[in-house]
Structure 1
Amino acid sequence: MKKKYLFGPIILALVLFAGVVFVPVSWLAKLVPADRLEESAISLEPNMFQGTYLQSEMLKHSKYVPIYGSSELSRWDPFHPSNYFETNAAPFTPYLVGKGGMTSIIHDLNFATHAARLKNKQMVIIVSPQWFVKHGTDEQHFAPNYSSLQAYELPFNKEVDEQVKRKLMQRLMTYNAVKNDTILYQLYDAYLNDKKIKFNILSVPAKTYLSVLKKKDLYFTLLNDSTTNRHQSAEVKDKTWEELQTQADTYGEERTQQSEFYIDDKVYNHKKHSIKEMKGKNKGRSYAESPEYDDFQLMLDILKQSGAEPLFVIIPVNGAYYDYTGFPEKGRQDYYTRIKTQINDSGFTYADYSDYEYEPYFMRDTIHIGWKGWVYLDEDMQKFLE
């Protein structure tokens, strides 16, 4: 009798596992709550970034304007685009796609995955100078943001230019997260070296695993019932841009009493010791040379081929703080020049804030846009979308 009790749970588990694996994706999609897409617009949920379902649904709807970036998107305040446009009943809804450590290579893979849905899609892409460090995105920032689902889809993607796809695959293969995935790494290797028999053989387990990952994405979408705690503030309602700038100045001044660098007091007090240690430490540094420029070019190429309509946002550094650390002005200006040249050469539009390095309250801390910076971006977004 004990053996029957022992095998019963095992059999039940196998049955449930089979149900999870073999249930059709279309069935799962019908179970997604109607309000899940709207909720995800400000959730900043990693499962959404690394999945495909919610982003694909978002790109179908003209009301959603995706904002791609990194950690600045989580710096919430009344002037944040998601709050500003909701409070003022805009005809569109910003959809936030980004978290700390997400740089060009992560966005490249994401854009490649959704290339078929990007035609004529207006979007905003916030580019941070800190992405363009000498050795490019490291494993520590790549691994937590990388999407296995999107990586497994890439070899079977027919929407992306062949040469761009190959360059992207070669770049991904430099990271341990891909190297340590034997099937994926060997699949890429077979594709890049035109080993058709090997590729066809590996495609069988790869597509099986891809199917599991797609279902996993949908299960996370179904189970994600936690509400996002982002307080909506009406203090920015029905204000002129001049009034908002003045309001942002006051808002920022009240929150930067402890630091000479216009850094949020909470951030400064938390990192006061490390900030003091940074005096003169960045002499000789530069954002002029980085593998990130090649990663960024892949992004431009994918977006251009797919027919997307992006507004790039060139974020400045905190000039006062960068001077304090000894980071040369030339190493910053070379970055601004180079990134604008790349965007121009691709025929895209950008909002250039490189002259605002010393603008009080434009930056929230040492690297993140905030307060007055958001006001400038809100205005430029509205003009771009109109």
Structure 2
Amino acid sequence: MKKPLFSPIILALLVLLIVVLIPNKWIEGMIPKERINQAATELNPFMFQGKYVQQKMLENKHFLPIYGSSELARLDRFHPSNYFKVTGEEFTPFLIGRGGTESLIHLLNFSEHTNQLKGKKMVFVLSPQWFQPQGTDESHFVPNYSSLQGYDFAFNQKVNPTIKKEAIKRLLKFSPVKDDPFLSTIYQAEITNDPWMKRKASLVRPFAYAYRNLLVKKDLYYSLVGGKPHKREISHKVRDKSWGKLAIQAEKMGSRKSKNNQFCITNGQFNKIKKMVPSLKDSKKGASYGKSPEYDDFQLLLDVLKESGAQPLFISVPVNGKWYDYTGFPKEGRTAYYERIKKQIQSQGFQIADFSNHEYDPYFMKDTIHIGWKGWVYTDKAIKNFYEGKKVEEDLGRLN
């Protein structure tokens, strides 16, 4: 006798129903305690775009979150994740960010965790390249956007309404938000006085809330399963070294790894762009990072951190001066960024480690845009001083 063809479908539906109905607390109870430690250097997008792992991390004084973008993946012996591990510091860096993770993405992330940010020390690495004249675009926003964080932002009653409305206006410009019928309706109702839109939002809100709860459960299951372990080499060669000796060590490593060009770019990276280099000469004449919508996005981020009571240290990374000169990118177009971003941060009472005077410091950068061997040494020193409660801006001179 043949079994009914629809039995696998029924079985699948039953399994799905069980998965959905399992209480969140039960799933949380099954998540291994070591998951948070494992995620600290995984650079796993599911963790960036989720909620549970970051929430537990922020509640734990043992972790020092470091937010940024693609530079966080440049793991070497001088990287904070290696340096502070082998030197036995009382905190563990927790990396949050990847390529294209710019101000709006970080804003949603911080808004998700306002309850855990009060008094929390953190490090935020800034990249000049975020501040393009057109601001962030779809190619950077879409891969890093989190539907869970987007929906939680819609229901968030703790973010200042003025900040929230300005953020929503920006978010509605991007396809994952404006093309989501539930979310876009609720967002639009937040920024309009149109009675019809308000009524429409009240109708879709229960469905949006139910969908948001499914996203929360999905995040818990991802946290339970965990990401792919990130294998990295731990180097003890930075242990028991003065800052000066570390800088010399970093210079030697940089010299070995960037021998085939005059820009102090890693050999491998330069080989990738070698054929294009002649065509890039003077290609950036008239460019500037001094004006960009990103400054307004960044201000919203600062406002959320300020209101939540967070204690951030901002790392102002320079550009590769030799390379930028070669491409004709004007010095004043870079200086305008350094000065504006520093003023913007300090106006909020936050600390900044301003490394803009290292544009021409060999091996401070690893390539055209990413912080390198020597740059990490200076960053490590700034982080250590910050964590110990020292004024970072007063101690950014020579390493000793």
Q: Same fold (TM over 0.5)?
A: yes
Distance in 1 (alpha carbons) for counterparts of 2:29 and 2:189: 37
In the alignment, the residues of structure 1 paired with residue 205 and residue 22 of structure 2 have an alpha-carbon distance, to the nearest angstrom, of 21
Name the aligned partner's letter for residue 65 of structure 1.
L
Shift of 1:278: 1.1
Q: Classify the secondary structure of the residue corresponding to 1:11.
A: helix
Tell me if structure 1 keeps the 8 A contact 2:107–2:304: yes
Distance 2:150 2:66 in 1: 22
Query: Any idea what SS the aligned residue of 1:100 has?
Result: coil
Q: 1:1-386 maps to which residues of 2 (within 5 A)?
A: 1-2=1-2, 4-194=3-193, 195-224=197-226, 226-386=228-388
1-side partners of 2:350 and 2:49: how far apart? 26
Query: How many percent identity over aligned positions?
Result: 49
Per-residue deviation at 1:200? 2.2
Can you list the C-alpha shifts for 1:339-375, whole angstroms capped at 9, x where unaligned? 0110111111000000000000000000000100000
Deviates more, 1:310-319 or 1:194-203: 194-203
- How far did residue 274 of structure 1 move? 2.5
Equivalent-residue separation in structure 2 for 1:276 and 1:76 (angstroms): 30
Question: How far, CA to CA, are the matches of 1:230 and 1:5 in structure 2?
Answer: 51
Tell me the distance in 2 between the aligned counterparts of 1:229 and 1:209. 35
TM-score (norm 1): 0.98
* 3-state DSSP of counterpart to 1:126: strand
CA contact (8 A) 1:363 1:373 kept: yes
Do the aligned residues in 2 keep the contact of 1:122 with 1:385 (CA within 8 Å)?
A: yes
SS in 2 for 1:280: coil
2:44–2:227: 8 Å Cα contact kept in structure 1? Answer: no
AA of the residue aligned to 1:44:
L
Cα distance in structure 2, aligned partners of 1:150 and 1:20: 22
Cα displacement (A) at 1:97: 0.2
Tell me the TM-score normalized by structure 2: 0.95
**Partner amino acid, structure 2, of 1:30:** G
Q: Is the 8 A contact 2:148 2:212 kept in 1?
A: yes
Q: Structure 1: how far apart are the matches of 2:168 and 2:54?
A: 22
What are the ranges of 5 or more consecutive residues in structure 1 without an aligned counterpart?
A: none
Residue 252 (structure 1) shift: 0.5
Q: Secondary structure at the match of 1:350?
A: strand
The 3-state SS of whatever aligns with 1:5 is: coil
CA contact (8 A) 1:313 1:352 kept: yes
Distance 1:258 1:45 in 2: 33
Distance (Å, rounded) in 2 between the aligned partners of 1:12 and 1:246: 64
Structure 1 pair 21/275, CA: closer, same or farther in 2 (3 Å)? farther
Unaligned runs of 5+ in 2: 389-400
Residue 234 of structure 1: how far off its partner (Å): 0.7
CA–CA separation in structure 1 for the residues paired with 2:65 and 2:333? 31
Deviations 1:39-68 (A, max 9, x none): 000000000000011000000001100000
8 Å CA contact 1:67–1:124 kept in 2: the answer is yes
RMSD: 1.0
The question of whether the paired residues in 2 share the 8 Å contact of 1:191 and 1:199 is answered with no
Offset at 1:225? 5.0
My pick for the range that moved more, 191-200 or 322-331, is 191-200
Name the amino acid aligned to 1:350: I
The CA deviation string for residues 113-140 of structure 1, in whole angstroms up to 9 with x for no partner, is 1111100000000010000000000001
